[in-house]
Amino acid sequence: MTASTRLTTLTRIGFATRGVLYAVIAYLIIRTGRSEDTGGALAYLSGGSGKFLLGVMAAGLLAYGIWRLADAALNIEGHDTDKKGVIERVGAGLSGLAHLLLTWQAIQLIQGVSSNGNGVQDGARTALTFPGGGIAILLAGAVVLLVGIVQLVRAAKASFLRHLEPEMAKRTWVEWSGRAGYAARGVVFLIVGYFLVAAGLDATASGVGGMDAALTWLESPLDVIVALGLLGFGIFSLVEARWRIIQSVPVDRLAKGRP
């Protein structure tokens, strides 16, 4: 098995891990009213799973992060060269970085180290200590708002289906789980983006938060509705783990210094 094939296999595990994490987020909101982000869902799972399972999930998340970064850098998914394609590649890069951070959280959990802080808020607070920090937060908020809009557009157009094997893409339940999932993620990103923009304008990080804060901000029954959408995204991610058409990263060629 080549390095590219191994990375593709682990990337599929990454898709499955993402699906499980989103399912846990939805479960916690619907059953207990507890709001978590993907890092919190990972910590929740660590309480009832062994280090081996966490290790597998960490390996999958790492591979997924590398694959997304490779797409941003090498355009392995074949994005167009127009503005839309550039936005998709930037989104891939941000997703890759986010999943590498999630990988680090998984490694810390394996080592018995837990984090109870608000990473988004801590980052915003740090940014405000530097000259122009408020502007940086405003720009970050604008990017997150754009990501939210892109998610909603994907939900409306069901453009995510083009990445699946044709027979699976035709199934109605797959389409609507994806639509619901991308719509819910769009709502969450828009709320997080709003938090960041407000923080940049007010020069305070007290109201900043990630997915968990966005879900807490939503009042009942909107939080449950969004949670059901996130469950749909979890289901769709599990579908992708098996039936997504994944373009391989040319690991072997890159290792030899060839494009």
Closest CA to 94 of 148, 156, 134: 148
Q: Give me the pLDDT at residue 115, please.
A: 63
pLDDT band at 223 (very low <50, low <70, confident <90, very high): very high
Find, among 247, 151, 145, the residue nearest to 198 by Cα: 145
Tell me how far CA of residue 70 lies from CA of 139, 169, 213, 226, in angstroms.
24, 25, 30, 31
Q: For residues 49-66, give the mean pLDDT.
A: 88
Percent helix, strand, coil in the chain, to 5, is 75, 0, 20
Could you tell me how far CA 182 lies from the centroid of its own chain? 11
CA nearest neighbour of 11 among 107, 86, 77, 88: 77
Residue 226 confidence (pLDDT) above 90 = yes
CA distance 124 to 139: 12
What are the Cα distances from residue 94, in Å, to 21, 233, 238? 18, 18, 21
Task: Give the pLDDT score at 258.
Answer: 56
**Host domain of residue 163:** 3-255
What whole-number distance in Å separates Cα of residue 97 and Cα of residue 95? Answer: 5
111 versus 12: the higher-pLDDT residue is 12
Confidence of residue 3 (pLDDT cuts 50, 70, 90): confident
The CA-based diameter of the chain, rounded to the nearest angstrom, is: 55
Question: What pLDDT score does 255 carry?
Answer: 57
Give me the number of domains the chain comprises. Answer: 1
Average pLDDT over residues 155-164: 95
Q: With a cut of 70, say whether residue 256 has pLDDT above it.
A: no
Enter the pTM of the model: 0.90
Can you give the pLDDT at residue 31? 92
Q: Is the pLDDT of residue 37 over 80?
A: yes
Q: Pick 184 or 5 by higher pLDDT.
A: 184
pLDDT confidence of residue 30: 94
Residue 165: the pLDDT is: 96
